[in-house]
Amino acid sequence: NELLLRQAEKLSVIGELAAGIAHEIRNPLTSLKGFIQLLKPTLSEQQMYADIMLSELDRINFIVSELLVLSKPHNVQIKSLSLVSLLENVLTLLASESNLKNIPIHTSFEYAPVISGEENQLKQVFINIVKNALEAIDGHGEIMLATSAKADQEVLITIADNGCGIPEELIPKLGDPFFTTKENGTGLGLMISSKIIKDHGGHLEIASKRNEGTTVKITLPIAHEQKGPS
């Protein structure tokens, strides 16, 4: 299918571009950080400003490194991961967007298992889903991100928003490649996300009510070594 190919090509060009830019940003960032550390503030107020600048630079650095890694899908590496740290990293990446839109993302990490998987792919999933939730809210709204234990060595991750919701007749179309209702959407987020979750032995389901909101439920198996909460 030619359309599919062209889209895939576009995405890989964007990925390469993002990786290139991320790389270029890191060098001046390192230099800025070095020079701020050389400043010898004489007032405690100045010291406070320098500290803020350093922590903001660390944040940029983190985001840029993530971008660099995420845009390189090559090195697939399955390892043991702390689910909650992974989710917290995702929230850090999306913090500017949620702050800008004034949409709080509440968390309830009731269960914090080790899972086994590909870190960048799983991050990609949660970035996609939380971004969808942010994009579904116009004006006031909030997002809840929660983890809980499920029977049979599984963890349930719930991402709920009280945004625009999805009309019932469109629900069967979710996850179809290129199905989007957004002007600048790709319609690839859910398709890729459910594929990644399936590859990890889990599943993804969506419940939604128009004008009320959407809940995405993802289950993943926990890593074998650990005992469930029984």
Q: Report the interface residues with ligand ADP, using CB under 6 A.
A: 128, 132-133, 136, 161, 163-166, 174, 179-182, 185-191, 214
Residue type, position 97, single letter: E
- Closest approach of ligand ADP to the CB of residue 156, in Å: 17
Let me know: does 211 contact 143? Beta carbons within 8 Å: no
Q: By CB under 5 A, is residue 124 in contact with Mg ion?
A: no
- Closest approach of Mg ion to the CB of residue 184, in Å: 10
| Residue range at the interface with Mg ion (CB under 5 A); choices 36-44, 53-61, 144-152, 181-189 | 181-189
- Closest approach of ligand ADP to the CB of residue 171, in Å: 9
Pairing relationship of beta strands 213-221 and 203-209 according to DSSP bridges: antiparallel
- At 225 the three-state DSSP class reads coil
When binding is defined by CB under 5 A, the residue of 113, 141, 175, 189 that contacts Mg ion is 189
Residue 209 β-bridge partners: 213
Query: From Mg ion, ligand ADP, none, which one binds at residue 136 (CB under 5 to 8 Å depending on kind)?
Result: ligand ADP
Indicate the residue among 121 and 222 with the shorter CB distance to ligand ADP. 121
Establish how many alpha carbons lie within 13 A of residue 205's alpha carbon, considering only the half-sphere containing its beta carbon: 3
Cβ-count burial 91-126 (b if 16+ within 10 Å, e if not)? bebbeeebeeeebebeeeeebebbbbbbbbbbbbbb
Report the interface residues with Mg ion, using CB under 5 A. Answer: 132, 189
